[in-house]
Amino acid sequence: MIDWERLQTMRDEIGSDSLQEIVLLFLQEMDEGISRLQSAPSTEALGAEMHFLKGCALNLGFRDFARLCQEAETLCAQGKADQVDISRILACHGASRAVFSEGPDAADAT
């Protein structure tokens, strides 16, 4: 669900303090995107929102969430926005946040 190696690579590249700042920024941006998603964006805005959330997810290593956002973005690009399962995306986001907040050791124990 979470690509912990992605976060370790970022930590190695920029240091723990900078990583913490970046993680907080992306979590905040992701929360804002989720809020916009919950307010039922227009068909046109949905694809852009999925792209935005995918970018945040990839930066944080939210592998499964990023995959669902990519699938939704593709559906929107194909004119099939009505097939996007927003509730599934929101559930995956919630589960990803929970695993992320527990850290890699807790994730390995499950």
Structural domain span for residue 97: 4-109
b/e sequence 76-105, b meaning 16+ C-beta within 10 Å = beeeebeebebeebeebbeebbebbeeeee
Mean pLDDT for the chain overall? 91
Which residue in the block uniquely carries the two structure tokens 């979590």?
A: 27
Band (pLDDT 50/70/90 cuts) for residue 18 is very high
In what helix (H) or strand (E) does residue 68 lie, and over which residues does it extend? helix 63-77
Closest of 6, 32, 33, 2 to residue 19, by C-alpha: 6
Q: How far apart are CA 81 and CA 83, in angstroms?
A: 5
Percentage with pLDDT > 90 across the chain: 84
2-11, 35-44, 74-83: range with lowest mean pLDDT: 35-44
3-state DSSP call for residue 32?
helix
Question: Within a 13 Å sphere around the CA of 2, how many CA atoms are in the beta-carbon half?
Answer: 21
13-17, 42-46, 102-106: range with lowest mean pLDDT: 102-106
Work out the number of other CB atoms within 10 angstroms of the CB of residue 15.
11
How much is the average pLDDT of 77-97? Answer: 96
Band (pLDDT 50/70/90 cuts) for residue 107 is very low
The total number of structural domains in the chain stands at 1
